[in-house]
Structure 1
Amino acid sequence: MRETGTKAATKAPLVLVSTDLAASVEALVARYAWRWAIEVTFAEAREHLGAGQARTRTRHAVERCVPFTLYCYTITVVWYTLHGHHPHDVADRRRIAPWYTTKAEPSFTDMIVKLRRVMIAARYSPNTPARPTDQEIRAVQHAWATASINTG
Structure 2
Amino acid sequence: MKVVLLREDVTDTGYDLALVSTDLTAPAGHLVARYASRWSIEVTFGEARSLLGVGQVRNRTPRAIERTVPFGLYCYTITVIWYTLHGHHPQDAAEHRTRAPWYLTKTHPAFSDMTAKLRRTTIAARFMPIDAGQPTDTEIRAVQEARAAASADLA
Give the TM-score of the pair, scaled to structure 1.
0.76
Match of 1:12 in 2: 15
Aligned CA-pair RMSD:
2.1
Deviation at 1:9, TM superposition (A): 2.2
Amino acid of the structure 2 residue aligned with 1:38: I
Match of 1:140 in 2: none
Amino acid of the structure 1 residue aligned with 2:65: V
Amino acid of the structure 1 residue aligned with 2:80: V
Is the partner of 1:16 in helix, strand or coil?
A: strand
1:105 aligns with 2:108: yes
The runs of at least 4 aligned residues of structure 1 exceeding 4 Å deviation read: 1-4, 128-131
Deviation at 1:11, TM superposition (A): 5.8
**Cα distance per residue 1:82-109 (max 9 Å; x no partner):** 0000111000000001111111111001
Can you give the 5+ residue segments of structure 2 that lack an aligned partner in the other structure? Answer: 1-5, 133-155
Amino acid of the structure 2 residue aligned with 1:113: A
**Cα distance per residue 1:114-140 (max 9 Å; x no partner):** 00000001117xxx9969xxxxxxxxx
Pick aligned residue for 2:55 from 46, 52, 61: 52
Q: 1:110 to 1:11 in 2, by over 3 A?
A: farther
Amino acid of the structure 2 residue aligned with 1:88: Q
Question: How many equivalent residue pairs?
Answer: 126
Match of 1:27 in 2: 30
Q: Is the 8 A contact 1:122 1:130 kept in 2?
A: no
Q: 1:2 to 1:56 in 2, by over 3 A?
A: closer
Is the partner of 1:17 in helix, strand or coil?
A: strand
Amino acid of the structure 2 residue aligned with 1:46: R
CA distance in 1, matches of 2:33, 2:51: 28
Amino acid of the structure 2 residue aligned with 1:99: W
CA distance in 2, matches of 1:19, 1:108: 33
Amino acid of the structure 2 residue aligned with 1:61: A
Structure with greater Cα Rg: 2
Match of 1:135 in 2: none
Pick aligned residue for 2:96 from 93, 96, 109: 93
Q: 1:129 to 1:73 in 2, by over 3 A?
A: farther
Give the TM-score of the pair, scaled to structure 2.
0.75
Q: 1:10 to 1:93 in 2, by over 3 A?
A: farther
CA distance in 1, matches of 2:13, 2:67: 44
Instruction: Select between 8-17 and 21-30 the one with higher mean Cα deviation.
Output: 8-17
Amino acid of the structure 2 residue aligned with 1:43: G
